[in-house]
Amino acid sequence: MTLHAPETLLITLTGKDRPGVTSALFSTLALSGVEVLDIEQIVLRRRLVLGLLVTAPRDWKKLRDAIENAAAALEMHVEVSRGTGDNRARKEGRSHVTIIGTPLKATAMAAIAGRIADSGANIDRIERMARYPVTAIDLHVSGVDTDRLRSQLAAEAARHDVDVAVQSANLLRRGMRLIVMDVDSTLIQGEVIEMIAAHAGHEQAVARITESAMRGELDFEESLRARVALLAGVPASALDEVYDAIVLAPGARTMVRTLKRLGYRFAIVSGGFSQITDRLAEDLGIHFARANELEIVDGRLTGRIVGDVVDRAGKARALREFAALSGMTEKSVIAIGDGANDLDMLNAAGLGVAYNAKAIVQRAADTAVNVPYLDTIMYLLGISREEVEAADAEAGIITPAPPV
């Protein structure tokens, strides 16, 4: 026996938003006993667009006339079209495509949407995640493999100077519960070792070695020991001055505060120094911390490190240890970093995010974020700025209003 797709009515209502519009429409539909199959509603500048898919009754024209009369009473425009089938998204290749721009121009959206269409995929839904200080849009896409879509959109992202994150639309996106972050140039602005080196008169020399190491041109442990040697003789009290001068990445406190409300756990894993990172962890309420320990003798730095170096492999080991301590698998971890020594950590995580990272890291990571706001990571997790601000307001935290 051949099953035929049911007849359906697509109702599109547009006009000035006001209380009672949705209620009036459903009251009219209720008289015909139709089933609701799908519904979408958005409001832009107080203009309502409501799309509704329902089963078609035997006398569908009578229902159409009733809907048109209801719309006229509301001083709104309505279109009713008959067809067949539901509005189910294709099951295969379901992805979330998050686009972040400052600004987000129509040319970028056109290019990305065009490339999605060229791949054979379909955009099933579009949601705004943020409008200030960045514009973030989440596209629900189906019909093409996630990895293939990610590679195809990477070129458009670079060409139009926007960030495009492509993730598989599965439960892991909602279930990730451990964030593991690099510290220098990720959680904080700048490099701690360079700030300490300024007290020894070697800031520029250390900065040159750091930059080369972060690009992957030097062995990290070798470069670290060479830089730390230049710190010999610096008073331990200088570490307090360095800590007091640290500036967090914009949005860092917001991200940690918000995700901790949702049950997330946090870890920082650094090629820097425990004398700084332990204090950062305590200040921010971070659960785990791993870093190198500077040797101090008679109140001064010796230019040596105590114990093993936390290098590229060490960061990945720490991620796995912290995941195990939290009762999670590595796939439930989000790792964030910017340098070559973060690569193993990013690859070990379920989602590796290159944050304002070197080119070698951006090419290897699952996704890249190149705006100077760490809390944009939350948009990749399906958390909107409006939700963040509402939660802060309930806690008595006032968010500055965006420019009009």
Q: Nearest 5 degrees, angle CA 254-CA 358-CA 244?
A: 45
Q: Nearest 5 degrees, angle CA 163-CA 167-CA 169?
A: 140
CA distance linking residue 93 with residue 103, whole number of Å: 29
Closest C-alpha to 165, from 196, 208, 134, 207: 134
Tokens 């089933």 belong to residue:
35
For residues 50-60, b (16+ Cβ closer than 10 Å) or e, as one string? bbbbbbbbeeb
Active site residue 182: yes
Active site residue 184: yes
Active-site pick, 138, 163, 184, 338: 184
Treating both helix axes as pointing N-terminal to C-terminal, what angle do 238-245 and 274-284 enclose, rounded to 10 degrees? 40
Q: Are 176 and 381 in contact (CB under 8 A)?
A: yes
CA distance linking residue 192 with residue 401, whole number of Å: 33
Tokens representing 11? 């109702």
Active-site pick, 124, 145, 147, 182: 182
> Which residues participate in catalysis according to the annotation?
182, 184
